[in-house]
Structure 1
């Protein structure tokens, strides 16, 4: 088509050319929105397995992403020893004093009624109170010993890596939230960038259509818009690491790197409130694969306290109760402690949350990460499957472009 024909066509169908950039912007926006949602939804596979259907990329690969995120956290951000060392045994004993005293009284009464009911019932009430108070008086020292042993053996009794990975794998929605919450501005940028990039490419598309009037132009440009804008938006999240000027005019700094301080706050808060909570830590210690080692330490400390309580009278007590009975009492005490600790965890959560200060610790350590390590907080969610995101964008763009052809021609 010569220039006069192009000018005549523009005059006749100017509204079609005017709408092309707008349509391309809509394609860019729609393909970005679809790509973002397909990262996270659905949580479970929908369709006909194994290939005809879809599962959100992050839920599908939650095991890999959880492992990568936790390994980075363990290697560069958090050390179990450093976390446990923040708990002061004296302050902990003070915060659990009320439930601890009630627990001690209940344990003493139950054990005596189980093993020496006649003797316990014959004792005058003041004598029983003296015995209970003596044991209650020594209970804070027992907590101190237990905490010291825990600090000295934290790697033996607490597997923080497994606890964190299990928490993420148990709840795929939590894995999604971990990525989505810290990347909310970046995800919004991806979607909004589709409008801008799509509009610019739509102007080029209108020019090519004016020159060729080829029906293949629309779907091809739709595919190109979907693919290129997805790819470009993903790159602009992480690149450049440091602010750069382009063409001597435009400045750009990868948005994820630009927001580093805020990301640290968001990441630390989410980890502290969803994963590294006092309740989760206590649950992992009491029920995890290494819980038997923890209770072996508790049993050892209880044995030491019992020996100290009996003092020189230990042979007489053993003769009166029997060695087998004392051993059974020791095991029963450990079992009762195992049962009571979760019930008392609510009283210590406020203190331990403040003492651990996981958000503050993460913010401090994230400031020490290299740019590459920091980027790995989020990049694994996109990197391996970037091709799927941009391919979906291209396919959707092609289909919308084909629809655009039919609208233009008819």
Structure 2
């Protein structure tokens, strides 16, 4: 009987753990009662909001991390592809708006004109980067970056929670064995005295319920170390703060707050229009400056209206090439932003309750269901014991 009780404890814990994460989508006859969906996927929207709020309010300061980018170094990183793009844009615009004049120019003159335009491109990149750093909150919603990444791939949210909680899940399963064994000894004594058929299913239910409840509580409580005689007690999750900080920061930096995700949010997110307007103005200003003293002559030669159209066409084409060009600086930007170490460091400064919020929401809302399922499984196994013993 103690061995069977330990088995009940273990099986109910494994069932609770799997029910937290599986299935990804609802399986059953009628949602939400006749079937099941994993606790984490079913509450994914709420958990995404909680995770995104924690990331953006406590762990990542957008303005601070973007100040780490050096505009000069960024311009150098993309210098090669940038010069190619400027060459293509300059030739496209000239062929479109001044085909006759462009064809009349000898190749050397064409090259000189292109080189003149290229000479202003590093300055343009520095200006754009300085503008972005100064107005980053106007052009980037970092919370939306986190929400989009986690919403786009619900399996990512599950992986994030499951990976940082593997030791806690293993602890819960082990608790089922130890607590079940102890309660099984009590069950054995009661059965030996009473021989009542109700003892086994009732004890099975009690073992499933109590061991589930106690194991989940011991994951988080006590929050601070407490001594009870020679024993030092502290919630497993609280005890592993440094390890969890490294794991969580690694996953977030690798799959959520990535440079491609941030770049996509900047260029296509809800605030992208502000950035594109900013870049457009910077490109126009740089073109005027590069034209310099020759601008009045150019205006007379091609016409003021056409000159303006040429500038705007150049700016539009530059923005079209921008996403592919800036990707060449991904490695530098990842290193400079240093999101992984930033998150890990700030996680260590969270209060114990804030830190608990990384994992606790995965249990809190449907904790009672997991415990109830444990009780039902325990009762069923207890009833099977009765059938084996008495029949």
The TM-score, its normalising length taken from structure 2, stands at: 0.96
Aligned to 2:38: 56
Cα distance in structure 1, aligned partners of 2:379 and 2:315? 67
Secondary structure of the 1:245 match is strand
Q: Quote how far apart the aligned CAs of 1:199 are.
A: 0.9
* Residues 279, 345 of structure 1: 8 Å contact kept: no
Out of 274, 279, 294, the position equivalent to 2:275 is: 294
Q: Quote how far apart the aligned CAs of 1:314 are.
A: 2.8
Aligned to 2:237: 256
CA distance change for structure 1 residues 277 and 214 in 2, over 3 Å: closer, same or farther? Answer: same
Out of 362, 368, 375, the position equivalent to 1:394 is: 375
Q: Quote how far apart the aligned CAs of 1:313 are.
A: 3.2
Structure-to-structure mapping, 1:125-274, within 5 angstroms: 125-246=107-228, 248-274=229-255
CA distance change for structure 1 residues 181 and 333 in 2, over 3 Å: closer, same or farther? Answer: farther
Matched, 1:406 2:391: no
Aligned to 1:109: 91
Aligned to 2:79: 97
Q: Quote how far apart the aligned CAs of 1:315 are.
A: 3.4
Cα distance in structure 1, aligned partners of 2:315 and 2:204? 68
CA distance change for structure 1 residues 60 and 337 in 2, over 3 Å: closer, same or farther? Answer: farther
Out of 281, 285, 301, the position equivalent to 2:266 is: 285
* Residues 86, 318 of structure 2: 8 Å contact kept: no
Cα offsets for 1:173-219 (capped at 9, x unmatched): 01101111111111111112111111111111111111211111111
**Size of the alignment, in residue pairs?**
390
Cα distance in structure 2, aligned partners of 1:154 and 1:138? 24
Unpaired runs of 5+ residues, structure 2, are none
* Residues 86, 356 of structure 1: 8 Å contact kept: yes
The TM-score, its normalising length taken from structure 1, stands at: 0.92
Unpaired runs of 5+ residues, structure 1, are 1-19
Q: Quote how far apart the aligned CAs of 1:331 are.
A: 3.6
Range moving further from structure 2, 45-54 or 155-164: 45-54
Aligned to 1:14: none
Matched, 1:316 2:297: yes
Aligned to 1:329: 310
CA distance change for structure 1 residues 392 and 320 in 2, over 3 Å: closer, same or farther? Answer: farther
Cα offsets for 1:55-74 (capped at 9, x unmatched): 11111111100101111111
Cα distance in structure 1, aligned partners of 2:302 and 2:20? 66
Secondary structure of the 1:42 match is coil
Secondary structure of the 1:382 match is helix
Cα distance in structure 2, aligned partners of 1:55 and 1:329? 58
Range moving further from structure 2, 297-306 or 312-321: 312-321
Deviation beyond 4 Å, 4+ runs, structure 1 = none
Aligned to 1:32: 13
